[in-house]
Copies of this chain bind each other. A is one copy, B any other.
């Protein structure tokens, strides 16, 4: 059958993980998992695809164009509906929070509080792939539900920071930028912006650092904002927005308000006090330009960036106290974050914090070599026996009996020991070579499994 070779490649923006690639991903995932468990979070998982309405419910129908849509090829009705101009019934999950909110809402009465959950599934976005942004990626989600105090925000941030520490990053490498939507909202209200207009202002501010200056001013104006008055919230842009004569003082005041927000807003101040108790202050900054794009945030919002700002955000999160209720659950305070694997791995690689990929592969306990054909015939039984002792055993499948060459294979796969089945095999004696130290000795087959055990 003639099929273009492009069809035999991974879809654009997705990844093939060969053993060494996956070993690096598992290294990161294992740190995420152990750190989550140590912080008292329990792992959950949900479906890879959900009803499309789970996503449009909070974000509106527009989100459908940013998702991979899914339909059953068997369901004539679904296909007919799409051909008639409708959307597909399902979507690949772009984020985990709606699944989490749905799961909490479904069992809210029986789940012990607080609910502390994490998940490490695949996520999908129908966007143009670019550095740090793929169409399928792994994302670590950590959520603390049923506690509205700053200690919950702090514990969630502590969990992210501990993962950085375990991966070798320092406060000089990554920064946690923290703000609070309640604080920004209070400021906006002070500027005469009514609360019902805040969601569109948040959305504008979140996008604003990517807007050209002129466009920024124009959009600000159309939202009824004085551009210079929201400048401090608009990210790391140069201060060249037109400031009307006589408003220099105002601008200074605005900046001051923004940068001292934490001392004026109790929640932000309490959060920083908790972070200090937990010895996390060195990692964290107030950054009033952090707003977060998702509509469901209600309080603390934060993003974690590489310190020089060279990469996309490593993680983002915040407090979403109304979301569970909107999915049919009780009113339950909640906060959490998502951290993708792509930007994190880029950051670790750039800072020299990843070993050569092969070193993340599991080390074989032994590589078994047959020095003659008789030994080769007996090898499968010996190897099978060793594996019954929960040992990682490889073997030579080659027809060569050149022991030196085969020891090279043992060394290439980083085996701890080589076991050479040679002349004394008839007496149930084999050679055991320590591949790290180099020593070689004879050993009885009956003692071999014990000698290969990893020291605890």
Contact = CB atoms under 8 A, between A and B. Distances in A.
Interface centre among A43, A64, A87, A328 (most CB of B within 10 A): A43
Nearest to A92: B70
A321 interface: no
A356 interface: no
A57 B1 contact: yes
A10 to B, nearest CB: 5
Interface in A1-25: 1, 3, 5-11, 14-19, 22-23, 25
A237 interface: no
Contact of A69 (B22, B73, B107): B73
Contact of A8 (B8, B54, B74, B91): B54
A14 B46 CA distance: 8
A381 B7 contact: no
Contact of A70 (B68, B82, B106, B155): B68
A381 B277 contact: yes
Interface string A255-274: 00000000000000000001
Given A37-B362, A102-B9, A107 B3 contact: no
Interface in A108-158: 112, 114, 117, 122, 124, 126-127, 136, 147, 151, 154-155, 158
A354 interface: no
Contacts of A107: 18
A403 interface: no
- Please tell me how many copies of the chain the complex holds: 2
Interface of A is mostly: mixed
Contacts of A361: 42
Determine the interface band of chain A, counting residues with CB < 8 A from chain B.
35 or more
Interface of A: 1, 3, 5-11, 14-19, 22-23, 25-26, 34, 37-40, 42-51, 53-54, 57, 64-75, 82-83, 85, 87-88, 90-92, 99, 102-103, 105-107, 112, 114, 117, 122, 124, 126-127, 136, 147, 151, 154-155, 158, 162, 165, 274, 277-280, 327-328, 361-362, 364, 380-381, 384-385, 387-388, 390-395, 397, 412, 456
Given A11-B51, A69-B73, A277-B384, 15 more contacts: A1-B57, A8-B54, A10-B50, A11-B47, A18-B107, A22-B45, A40-B392, A64-B73, A69-B72, A71-B88, A72-B126, A82-B83, A151-B380, A278-B384, A279-B384
10 contacts: A9-B102, A11-B51, A11-B90, A14-B46, A19-B42, A22-B45, A68-B71, A70-B70, A112-B412, A279-B381
